[in-house]
Amino acid sequence: MARVYGIDPGTCTLKIYQKGTGIIYNQKNALAMIDGERIIATGDAAWEMEGRTPANIEVLYPVRSGVLAQVKNMLAQLNIVFDKIGEEHERLNGQDFLVASPSYATEVEKKALVDLINACDIKPRRIRVVDSPIAAALGAGVLLRECYGAMVVDIGADTTEIAVLSLGGTVASRMLNFGGYRLDESIINSVRLYYNFAIGRKTAEQIKIALGTAIHPEEGEVITKKVFGRDVVSGLPGSIAVDSLFVYLAIKDHIEKITEVILNLLLHIPPEMSADIMESGIILTGGVAGIKGLDKVISDLTGLKVHKCDNGSETVALGLGKIAEDPDYDFLAEQYSMLKIED
């Protein structure tokens, strides 16, 4: 019998689920290329090189805004990753694949994902596409078959997808074309403006994860982190201390934008579904769900309970896993190309 793998190719992280085992891969969706032709690192190892490379090495990100942007690079990366994990886990050759796609992706973009997996060296048996919000809801534990109303807020690196689901389908959705990366950019810009100090993307992400908060920190609650970079005036390397109040102010507008769109979508759901959503609440997921207090801010604003996923980055892949493990959810996966199936 074919094994099943679930793939969530995010803008920031690539996650792979193996049926019967769980998440077997979760690393940065990045590769480092030398002289524009040879890959020298993938995943977290490539991300480690970000901002530190000589002119002939480039760190590349094959997925942009949740959709495939560099097909050749993504294919090369997947072949390396499949090769690596294929040695530890039984071979991936000739297996079934479920691949997550943002719900707003066009049919052509979804088909491109299928073609991508199909072109990999592992020669897949069958490839099917699942809409990310559906997978996220399943991954968060929603019993989609019985559920008449659930709201999913998935804040990833470059996209924020907000969807209202019912009985395994999408009733209404909104997409914002920003996520965690935009928060990093704002931190970089604020640090430059207020401290005359330049920091890189990796440092900004570390600041966001360590100090990011959606709630104004009270006096006495403010935490501080020492970070390294370059003094813009002297041009010399140095360090500064950044605190959580500063980060709160730097990212505040983006958090407000997200909550505004959640409210707006709630205003447009069919009245019959309001009671269901009141009962099931909002699922907050994606890596950025980890921002301190974000669940409380959304809950206070909407009056709904918010279920924050523990490791939001993996929720979609866990949902693909649910479909792989439970035949009752099989109908949620869509077949885009009929491949020759040999048993």
Residues making contact with ligand ATP (CB under 6 A): 10-13, 66, 156-159, 179-181, 205, 208-209, 212, 286-288, 290-291, 312-313
Q: Which is nearer to ligand ATP, 29 or 95 (CB)?
A: 29
Q: Which is nearer to ligand ATP, 163 or 273 (CB)?
A: 163
11-27 in b/e burial notation, b at 16+ Cβ within 10 A? bbbbbbbbbeeebebbb
CA separation for the pair 74, 71 (Å, rounded): 5
Residue 157: CB atoms within 10 A of its CB come to: 28
Q: Which is nearer to Mg ion, 180 or 217 (CB)?
A: 180
- Any contact of residue 10 with Mg ion (CB under 5 A)? yes
If you count them, how many residues does the chain have? 343
* From 6-14, 67-75, 80-88, 252-260, span contacting Mg ion (CB under 5 A): 6-14
116 in Cβ contact with 75 (< 8 Å): yes
**Residue 173 contacts which entry, Mg ion, ligand ATP, none (Cβ below 5-8 A, type-dependent):** none
CB of 144 to ligand ATP, least distance (A): 20
Residue 186: CB atoms within 10 A of its CB come to: 20
CA separation for the pair 293, 307 (Å, rounded): 12
**Residue 291 contacts which entry, Mg ion, ligand ATP, none (Cβ below 5-8 A, type-dependent):** ligand ATP
**Residue written as token pair 């792989």:** 324
CA separation for the pair 169, 270 (Å, rounded): 14
Binding mask 128-167 for Mg ion (x = CB under 5 A): ----------------------------x-----------
**Residue written as token pair 């090189």:** 49
CB of 211 to Mg ion, least distance (A): 23
**Residue 207 contacts which entry, ligand ATP, Mg ion, none (Cβ below 5-8 A, type-dependent):** none
Q: Which is nearer to ligand ATP, 185 or 276 (CB)?
A: 185
Q: Which is nearer to Mg ion, 229 or 319 (CB)?
A: 319
SS3 68: strand
Q: Which is nearer to ligand ATP, 175 or 339 (CB)?
A: 175
CA separation for the pair 208, 100 (Å, rounded): 26
Taking alpha carbons only, the member of 334, 155, 343 closest to residue 251 is 155
CB of 68 to ligand ATP, least distance (A): 11
- Residues in contact with Mg ion by the rule CB under 5 A: 10, 156
